[in-house]
């Protein structure tokens, strides 16, 4: 199948690589030429604009930073809807505000384009090995049609409801991930200050009730003081802002989320926004005077 892919950042590039390995023809676009060059070298073709991508492909996937970027790429000048023919399928795999997804889906419908919001969880490692969790919102028939493509990029592909439901599910996911990372950093800092090796603590508890995918992925990074980004603090700030705004809109209390967001914001203003979100360990190092790692 000929698939258009717009957005070739940390997540987009490996997702394209997996689609190429599965035998799909990819027409790619990104505002950063170096990103396009990488996927072209792997076998993709380059497009001049999102409009061209939509004109030449029956299925278009977007993977962009936030709501305004998706709106511009889809609804703006030289955007997807300018080049789209009726019947085009659009999968937005960005993590954006649910209301924005619904707005974009409405604009698509008016142009005869069917849209699925399908944000992902798993970060760069799972994007690379094609084992992302993909949370979808949209029409059941469209979901059934594109599910085989999504299963190339993820090993869990679930329709959560109508347009916007995928991004609502992703916000819930991001709240849980952020909270897990924060309490993990807190617990390992306690261990270090109490004179117990954090690696030993990790090995002792990871198989019990406290164990989690988050712990398995982030504890080794904290222990090694390795904050190379698989998912950046600045991106998690964006997701939690969307979560807090959505929660306020529906009257759902999120006090823990707000607390963790303040930790992330503190790190951002210290110039660490491009670090991995496991960098919450750096926040605890500052306030405790003790680093988890050496």
Say how many C-beta atoms besides its own lie within 10 A of residue 163's C-beta: 23
**DSSP secondary structure string, the chain?**
-EEEEE--STTHHHHHHHHHHTT-EEEEE-SSHHHHHHHHHTT-EE-SSHHHHHHH-SEEEE--SSHHHHHHHHHSTT-HHHHPPTT-EEEE-S---HHHHHHHHHHHHHTT-EEEE--EESHHHHHHHT-EEEEEES-HHHHHHHHHHHHHHEEEEEEEESTTHHHHHHHHHHHHHHHHHHHHHHHHHHHHHTT--HHHHHHHHTTSTT--HHHHHHHHHHHTT----SSBHHHHHHHHHHHHHHHHHHT---HHHHHHHHHHHHHIIIIITTSBGGGHHHHHHHHHS--S--
> What are the tens digits of pLDDT across the range 60-100?
999 999 999 999 999 999 999 999 999 999 999 999 999 99
Q: Give 20-56 pLDDT, tens digit per residue.
A: 999 999 999 999 999 999 999 999 999 999 999 999 9
Q: What is the pLDDT of residues 271-280, one digit of tens each?
A: 999 999 999 9
Average pLDDT rounded to a whole number, residues 201-217: 97
Rounded Cα distance between 96 and 100, Å, is: 7
What pLDDT was estimated at residue 181? Answer: 98
Listed by start position, the domains of the chain span: 2-162, 168-288
Q: What is the CATH number of domain 2-162?
A: 3.40.50.720
Whether pTM > 0.85 for this model: the answer is yes
Mean predicted lDDT score pLDDT of the chain: 97
Report how far residue 213's alpha carbon sits from residue 133's, in angstroms, rounded to the nearest whole number: 12
Residue 174, pLDDT score: 96
- The confidence band for 224, taking pLDDT boundaries of 50, 70 and 90, is very high
Catalytic residue among 126, 170, 218, 232: 170
Selected residue with higher pLDDT from 294 and 150: 150
- Top-level CATH class of 168-288? mainly alpha
- Identify whether 232 is a catalytic site residue: no
Q: Give per-residue pLDDT as tens, 225-249.
A: 999 998 899 999 999 999 999 999 9
């Amino acid at each position: 199948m000929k698939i258009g892919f717009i957005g070739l950042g940390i997540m987009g590039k490996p997702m394209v690589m997996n689609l190429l390995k599965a035998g799909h023809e990819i027409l790619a676009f990104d505002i950063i030429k170096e990103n396009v060059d990488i996927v072209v070298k792997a076998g993709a073709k380059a497009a001049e604009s999102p409009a061209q991508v939509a004109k030449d492909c029956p299925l278009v996937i977007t993977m962009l930073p936030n709501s305004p970027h998706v709106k511009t790429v889809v609804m703006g000048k030289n955007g997807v809807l300018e080049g789209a023919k009726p019947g085009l399928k659009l999968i937005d795999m960005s993590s954006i505000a649910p209301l924005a997804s619904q707005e974009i889906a409405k604009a698509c419908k008016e142009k005869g384009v069917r849209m699925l919001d399908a944000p992902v969880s798993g970060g760069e490692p799972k994007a690379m090995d094609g084992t992302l969790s993909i949370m979808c919102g949209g029409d059941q028939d469209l979901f059934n049609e594109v599910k085989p493509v999504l299963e190339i990029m993820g090993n869990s592909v679930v329709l959560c409801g109508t347009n916007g439901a995928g991004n609502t599910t992703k916000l819930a996911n991001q709240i849980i991930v952020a909270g897990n990372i924060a309490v993990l950093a807190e617990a390992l800092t306690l261990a270090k200050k109490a004179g117990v090796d954090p690696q030993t603590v990790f090995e002792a508890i990871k198989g019990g009730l406290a164990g989690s995918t988050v712990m398995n992925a982030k504890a080794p990074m904290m222990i090694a003081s390795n904050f190379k980004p698989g998912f950046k603090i600045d991106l998690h700030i964006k997701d939690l802002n969307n979560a807090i705004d959505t929660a306020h809109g529906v009257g759902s209390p999120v006090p823990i989320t707000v607390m963790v967001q303040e930790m992330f914001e503190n790190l951002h203003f210290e110039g660490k926004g491009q670090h991995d979100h496991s960098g919450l360990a750096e926040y605890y190092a500052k306030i405790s005077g003790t680093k988890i790692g050496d």
